[in-house]
Structure 1
Amino acid sequence: MLLEVKDLHVSYGAIRALKGVSCGVKEGEIVALIGANGAGKTTTLRTISGLIRPISGDITYKGKSLIKMPPHQIVSQGISQVPEGRRVFTRMTVLENLEMGAYIRNDKANVKADIKKVFARFPRLEERKAQLAGTLSGGEQQMLAMGRALMSQPTVLLMDEPSMGLAPMLVQEIFSIIKEINQAGTTILLVEQNAHMALSIASRAYVLETGEVVLAGQASDLAKDPEVQKAYLGE
């Protein structure tokens, strides 16, 4: 496994958010974490990113533990997160947001080249590069959050609820872009409430319920599982 979560336990005060979660992502995969609100999906991503300290368990990346690393060091290792709710810097321009995504890099010339690559992938962002990020639509902010995360040149991209609050047409577009990013060589761990879309692009998936993994397997098999269909796919 390129990135592996082993028996992770996390608490918020008296609330046990994760109760022994184990999951992993192999190089080149898209792996989905699906489950209801409060299942522990976001907590898992935030713990991988170093934003939350677990009580016990381990997270390894290329065989090396991340548990004691601060978030900026985890980014410099090659793991970047697109946070839930986009979290763009609203009072900065589109271009400044992208530059912020490259804050750990010293290769200025390559940063410029990577900004061009982001604009090639998201032409709407180039049209609005001098615009304040807070004035963008929800879909454009999601594209900006993705572009900003790509600016740190991640090997693994953690994506938290990329379709949240978007119109159905835009959801299709965002998921197509996620597939393109993966095909271009970035491994993806995807947390998504829209289980149908997540399972349609993932190779494998884990189902979380109240802080525990209750099902795991090939995404195509889970999409056909009657329990998954009933609980998450509205079938």
Structure 2
Amino acid sequence: MLKVENINVYYDAIHALKDVSLEVKEGEIVTLIGANGAGKSTLLKTLSGLIRPKNGTIEYEGKSIVKRKVQAIVKAGISHVPEGRRVFPTMSVTENLELGAFLRRDKKAIQKDIEHVFELFPRLYERRKQSAGTLSGGEQQMLAIGRGLMAKPKLLLLDEPSMGLAPLLVKQIFNIIEMINKEGTTILLVEQNANMALSIAHRAYVIETGSVVLSGDAKELQTSALVKEAYLGGA
């Protein structure tokens, strides 16, 4: 579904991504783990068209998306849930969800998808008329994921969905991510909670200072001594 080959991204003189290659197959959850500043968020921004790589190729469903505009990438079926939630604080929960469907014209289907988001996140239904800025951190994360789903993506890019959340909420969010995947959405997950990410992913990539240093089956990486020592708090 997604094939990235040898992309390089710079912020002025800083070489943020160095010859990064990865692929995501349809139906998978693929996770990208690594320390803060390793380049994980930069990669997602590059895939969604917010940043242009200096060179390298990005193919989605067999076609290059390197020069496509953000709206065209969303329309093609890639939705990006950014780090930090980025909900619109003065708009209601429902209005935020409607905004996620801004490229769609099928009003009945949009309403049906809003109802489905409320089924996934009953708390959002309870808060549907509230301003998004009044929600708790966990509720805002639910809303950010729900808004991402409103574009009807085939591939969902999730950036640090567990950041700043209590352990119980983290478990709930990850259960929902698994459910979304089982319903047919392919997921590329960037996550600092490596143990949790590897527990639900099919495959994983480890990124350090802008380079992919390890990749493979998620369960195998979870038992790797190198990964345990660096990201899982020792053996």
Normalized against structure 1, the TM-score is what? 0.99
Aligned equivalent of 1:100: 99
Alignment length, in residue pairs?
234
Is 1:40 the counterpart of 2:54? The answer is no
Is 1:145 the counterpart of 2:154? The answer is no
Aligned equivalent of 1:173: 172
Is 1:193 the counterpart of 2:192? The answer is yes
Any idea what SS the aligned residue of 1:166 has?
A: coil
Deviation at 1:87, TM superposition (A): 0.4
Is 1:21 the counterpart of 2:8? The answer is no
Is 1:221 the counterpart of 2:227? The answer is no
Q: Percent of aligned pairs with the same residue? A: 64
Any idea what SS the aligned residue of 2:128 has?
A: coil
Normalized against structure 2, the TM-score is what? 0.99
Aligned residue identity for 1:221 = E
Residue ranges of structure 2 left out of the alignment (5+ in a row): none
Deviation at 1:4, TM superposition (A): 1.1
Residue ranges of structure 1 left out of the alignment (5+ in a row): none
Work out the CA distance in 2 between the residues paired with 1:120 and 1:16. Answer: 43
Aligned equivalent of 2:83: 84
Work out the CA distance in 1 between the residues paired with 2:57 and 2:74. Answer: 17
Work out the CA distance in 2 between the residues paired with 1:121 and 1:231. Answer: 34
Aligned residue identity for 2:63 = K
Work out the CA distance in 2 between the residues paired with 1:17 and 1:158. Answer: 19
Aligned residue identity for 1:114 = D
4+ aligned runs moved over 2 Å, structure 1: none
Aligned equivalent of 2:50: 51
Aligned residue identity for 2:87 = V
Query: Cα RMSD between the aligned structures?
Result: 0.4
Work out the CA distance in 2 between the residues paired with 1:122 and 1:225. Answer: 34
Deviations 1:34-59, CA, capped at 9 Å, x for gaps: 00111111000000000001100111
Any idea what SS the aligned residue of 2:152 has?
A: coil
